[in-house]
């Protein structure tokens, strides 16, 4: 039985993006089941449908022959165990530990960047980004940490490589951050922008972005900086 991945809107759901990109880029076959957002209230259609699959009522969730794994980091670990030949974590033990560390940091941190720059792939908000950069010290601190982290990891790799050389869970985990940097035109050094561009050009990331651009949904609570577009 094929793996099933339960996700939300591709334009907005950064947590869904991580395992989807991981599986697509690594060539792990799966069936996508999308449950689009309407509200996150307990009685919303979204919550009711997702809670029927996993007890926390959140996406993503991975269903493996009826067994459900939720939370993006838990899903990544489960996939790494099931598909060791895909080398989703680095093979070197120390590099593997470092990759887990930075993924856990992404998983639990960068709250200012998450809050003020929600993922919105189809939007281009450079003016909003400039105001956020001016007014939100927390966002500047989060980006400063990303620059330091990525530079440290990339320094050990060949030119033009990803964080641990070849594609790993770490690149999948930072892919939504790369879309945020582009959406809000957040200022990063040239070498960091080059990494962002490499991630956004990965076939798995590109496929997610292409699908997100086709959705044309407008979810007001996920659109703090835009008004609803005119009907098409």
Task: Summarize pLDDT for 34-92 with one digit per residue, the tens.
Answer: 999 988 888 898 999 999 999 999 999 999 999 999 999 999 999 999 999 999 999 99
Do 99 and 70 share a domain, yes or no?
Answer: no
CATH of the domain at 147: 1.20.1050.10
Q: Which domain holds residue 74?
A: 3-86
| 223 in any annotated domain | no
pLDDT per residue as tens digits for the range 195-213? 999 999 999 999 999 999 9
Q: Which residues pair with 6 in a beta bridge?
A: 33, 61
| 59 in any annotated domain | yes
CATH of the domain at 15: 3.40.30.10
| 214 in any annotated domain | no
Do 150 and 193 share a domain, yes or no?
Answer: yes
Do 26 and 105 share a domain, yes or no?
Answer: no
Give the Cα separation of 159 and 154 in Å (integer).
8
Confidence of residue 133 (pLDDT cuts 50, 70, 90): very high
pLDDT of amino acid 41:
87
Residue whose token pair is 């996993």: 54
Do 59 and 127 share a domain, yes or no?
Answer: no
**Cα–Cα distances in angstroms (integers) from residue 114 to residues 119, 153, 181, 185, 204, in the given order:** 8, 22, 11, 15, 22
pLDDT per residue as tens digits for the range 141-157? 999 999 999 999 999 99
- Report residue 17 CA to chain centroid gap: 4
One DSSP character per residue, 21-65 reads HHHHHHT--EEEEE---S--STTSHHHHHHHTTSTT--S-EEEET
Q: How many domains does the chain have?
A: 2
Do 111 and 189 share a domain, yes or no?
Answer: yes
| 67 in any annotated domain | yes
Do 102 and 187 share a domain, yes or no?
Answer: yes
Average pLDDT, the chain: 95
Do 120 and 203 share a domain, yes or no?
Answer: yes
Give the Cα separation of 193 and 26 in Å (integer).
23
pLDDT of amino acid 42:
86
In the predicted model, what is the mean pLDDT of residues 112-139? 97
Model confidence at 178: pLDDT above 60:
yes
Question: Domain boundary at 44, 65, 86, which?
Answer: 86
């Amino acid at each position: 039985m094929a793996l099933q991945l339960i996700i939300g809107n591709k334009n907005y759901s950064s947590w869904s993006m991580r395992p989807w990109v991981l599986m697509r880029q690594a060539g792990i076959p799966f069936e996508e089941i999308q449950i689009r957002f309407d509200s996150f209230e307990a009685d919303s259609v979204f919550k009711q449908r997702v809670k029927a699959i996993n007890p926390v009522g959140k996406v993503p969730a991975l269903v493996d022959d009826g067994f459900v794994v939720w939370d993006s980091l838990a899903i990544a670990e489960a996939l790494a165990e099931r598909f060791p030949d895909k080398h989703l974590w680095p093979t070197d033990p120390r590099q593997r530990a470092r990759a887990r560390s930075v993924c856990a940091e992404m998983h639990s941190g960068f709250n200012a960047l998450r809050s003020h720059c929600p993922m919105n792939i189809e939007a281009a908000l450079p003016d909003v980004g400039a105001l956020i950069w001016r007014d939100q010290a927390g966002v500047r601190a989060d980006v400063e940490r990303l620059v330091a982290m990525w530079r440290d990891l990339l320094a050990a790799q060949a030119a033009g490589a990803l964080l641990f050389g070849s594609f790993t869970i770490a690149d999948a985990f930072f892919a939504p951050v790369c879309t945020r940097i582009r959406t809000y035109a957040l200022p990063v050094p040239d070498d960091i922008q080059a990494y962002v561009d490499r991630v956004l050009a990965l076939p798995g990331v590109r496929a997610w972005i292409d699908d997100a651009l086709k959705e044309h949904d407008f979810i007001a609570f996920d659109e703090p900086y835009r008004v609803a577009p005119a009907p098409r």
